[in-house]
């Protein structure tokens, strides 16, 4: 198996990290996931956790909110 590199902006990485952790904390990951999908989500979360420093910042909530706002402006959704 070979690795795949994915490029994310820091805002995308932070927002995805928060989303994945929110799902994990709320036990909101759909139990109907196909085999391997939850493992893939856990591995993504762990990869983001290893590289992000923002989760340790005391202003983490604001940083996530600001990142969401910037992504919203970029994507318009």
- Contact call for residues 74 and 46 (beta carbons, < 8 A): no
Mean pLDDT, rounded, for 1-14: 94
Domain boundaries, the chain: 10-75
pTM (predicted TM-score):
0.81
Each residue's pLDDT tens digit, 24-34 = 776 656 666 67
Give the Å distances, CA to CA, from 75 to 34, 67, 68: 29, 12, 10
Each residue's pLDDT tens digit, 41-61 = 889 999 999 999 999 999 999
Give 66's contacts (C-beta < 8 A, 6+ positions apart): none
Give the chain's largest Cα–Cα span: 39
Q: How far apart are the first and last CA of the chain?
A: 35
């Amino acid at each position: 198996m070979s690795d795949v590199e994915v490029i994310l902006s820091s805002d995308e990485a932070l927002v995805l990290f928060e989303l994945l952790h929110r799902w994990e904390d709320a036990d909101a990951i759909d139990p109907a996931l196909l085999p391997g999908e939850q493992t893939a989500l856990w591995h993504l979360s762990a990869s983001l956790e290893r590289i992000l420093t923002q989760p340790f910042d005391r202003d983490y909530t604001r940083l996530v909110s600001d990142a969401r706002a910037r992504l919203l402006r970029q994507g318009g959704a």
